[in-house]
Structure 1
Amino acid sequence: CSSDLKEAFFIRFRRWWRGVNIFQKAYIFLPINDDNHWSLVIICVPDEEDESGPIILHLDSLGLHCSRSIFHNIKSLLIHEWKYLKEDNGALDIPMPDRVWKFLPRRIDEKIITVPRQTNDYDCGLFVLYYMERFIKEAPYRFKRQHLSMFGKNWFKPQEASSLRGKIKSILQEKFRKAPSGENSIWKPVCLSANAQMDKSRDQVNIS
């Protein structure tokens, strides 16, 4: 892939966070989808007192995705953004030491995270959601290397992540139950999945 193509891809990709300095954020969550499987990347940005650079974490409930390739792509993305900000703005409010920011490409760390594994072939999306939920609840204000101990095979029980299916189902059923009826209702279903059936006589959706 030529440098021009990489630059064009980066310009299109950064529209997602246009107007936002991602290096000012403590955490950036990137769900990864490839080959019908979901995994999660968490970019942890250090604070001004930390001499280390950003840490890229990869959490995969089946270990199917190539972490090396993902790390390469995410690191390349961060370096492109770093170059863009340096060229576009001379002085930036970056929450990390100047000596770290100056040599950022050499200070980005990577870590494959050991996490609880799903026990079937279809709960990867639920695990990604649950990884984010647990991390948001338990992570410190700014992540440091010593906080890696929060993870592990026993971080939570696999059935806790799988149980999100029932919770999401209950939320959707409650939303549909409380939704106003009528032609102008935003909750009026248009397209149903294979697991949803329409009761046309009552204009309701039963999700199984």
Structure 2
Amino acid sequence: MLHAHKGINLIHIKPTFTRGMLIQFPPPPMKGGITVTMEDLQCLDSGQFLNDVIIDFYLKYLLHKASAAVTERSHVFSSFFYKQLTRRDNAREGTTKDSQRRHQRVKTWTRHVDIFNKDFVFVPVNQEAHWYLVVLCFPGLDEPKFEAWNELEAPDKTVRFSRLPFVCGRCHIVRGDQVVELHACLNLACRFQLKLSLIIEEEDLGCYCQRSLSQRKLSYVCPCRPCILVMDSLKRSLHERVFKLLRDYLESEWEVRRGSSRDFGADQMQSSHCRVPLQDNSSDCGLYLLQYVESFLKDPVVHFDLPLQLERWFPRQQVRRKRDEIRDLVLNLHRHQNLDSNQ
């Protein structure tokens, strides 16, 4: 059904298009444009499932409007990536491993980008008519990094923080050229569960685990952790196959891109289900996927203590407005592109 929306009569728009196209984003001469048609726009009606065109268009738009710093750190795959990766073959090709054969189907998708130089790789997934998001975090990192935050109690009783140059390896903490061996109390860091405060004196890098609260405290956060995050608005728990397929893909991509083998197993790249806002109907899964990406790009996660607690990431009402917001966006882009073409 076509709706008049905020002063724009869609019935009057439709005849102006010979192929039903509303917009192309990004517009020519930029490459990789997504074409949105009148038919695509109708899936934004209440109760309708978002199609792959709207998903891909809005993801491309979000990355386009993100800051340069965020864009540099991020890569967004098309919704067809996972579909192509998991496509069934009619015949097996000799003795090629399943993982290598799957990688062959999508190897050209990264010919212009090295995903191992990215901090966040977004993979939209559609399974059984349900959309959810997978984020490959720090795929080029071989172990988590822990950074120390120096917490000082100021005279006015407020708390000040200063970031210190600490990086945690599997069995040591590195500070410049100096190495501090981890005590047993810090072995939890190697298992990514460090919940501990330390005292680091100016001239002494020893580990002191029991000090009074009035002394300087050094606590650790994990700003970088290689992991696979699932954000699912239906709180489904059957994602093990997705984790395996994406780990296989990363191993094959690393071998092709870097010319060496690397293990992306669960010990090296932990998988986790994020605690995110959930949908309250059967049709808004695509909207939640888009909102997850939008919120992530707008305010990237700065620590990776898993599972991520993001239940209050955004209000449900924000998602309920999303259909109208995307429709308005498409129509405004249509108007501007028409003006540009007429000029």
Query: Structures share a fold, TM > 0.5?
Result: yes
Asked if 1:115 corresponds to 2:276, the answer is: yes
The corresponding residue for 2:334 is 176
- The match for 1:157 among 304, 315, 319 is 315
SS, match of residue 123 in structure 2:
strand
The corresponding residue for 2:239 is 67
- In the alignment, residue 322 of structure 2 is paired with which amino acid? L
The corresponding residue for 2:132 is 39
The corresponding residue for 2:102 is 9
- The match for 1:139 among 297, 300, 307 is 300
- After superposition, what is the alpha-carbon deviation per residue over 1:42-69, rounded to whole angstroms, capped at 9, x for unaligned? 1110487464751100000013472211
Contact 1:39 1:65 (C-alpha < 8 Å) held by counterparts: no
SS, match of residue 132 in structure 2:
strand
Asked if 1:54 corresponds to 2:200, the answer is: no
Contact 1:34 1:65 (C-alpha < 8 Å) held by counterparts: no
In 2, Cα distance between equivalents of 1:115 and 1:139: 14
SS, match of residue 66 in structure 1:
coil
The corresponding residue for 1:127 is 288
* Structure 2 unmatched runs, 5+: 1-91, 146-166, 170-191, 193-224
Deviation at 1:104, TM superposition (A): 4.7
- In the alignment, residue 169 of structure 1 is paired with which amino acid? R
Deviation at 1:170, TM superposition (A): 1.1
- After superposition, what is the alpha-carbon deviation per residue over 1:8-62, rounded to whole angstroms, capped at 9, x for unaligned? 2202212111142211101000000111110000111048746475110000001
- The match for 2:119 among 9, 26, 34 is 26
In 2, Cα distance between equivalents of 1:6 and 1:103: 13
Contact 1:127 1:162 (C-alpha < 8 Å) held by counterparts: no
* Structure 1 unmatched runs, 5+: 89-100, 186-208
- The match for 1:80 among 229, 252, 256 is 252
TM-score normalised by structure 1 residue count: 0.68
SS, match of residue 146 in structure 1:
coil
Contact 2:102 2:249 (C-alpha < 8 Å) held by counterparts: no
- After superposition, what is the alpha-carbon deviation per residue over 1:56-93, rounded to whole angstroms, capped at 9, x for unaligned? 000000134722111111111112222223427xxxxx
In 2, Cα distance between equivalents of 1:50 and 1:134: 28
**What is the CA RMSD across the aligned residues, in angstroms?**
2.9
Flag the 1:5–1:69 CA change in 2: closer, same or farther, 3 A: closer
Q: Which structure is higher in strand share?
A: 2
Q: Which structure is higher in helix share?
A: 1
SS, match of residue 279 in structure 2:
coil
TM-score normalised by structure 2 residue count: 0.43
The corresponding residue for 1:198 is none
The corresponding residue for 1:167 is 325
- In the alignment, residue 246 of structure 2 is paired with which amino acid? I
- Higher Cα radius of gyration: 2
Deviation at 1:124, TM superposition (A): 0.8
Identity of aligned residues (%): 26
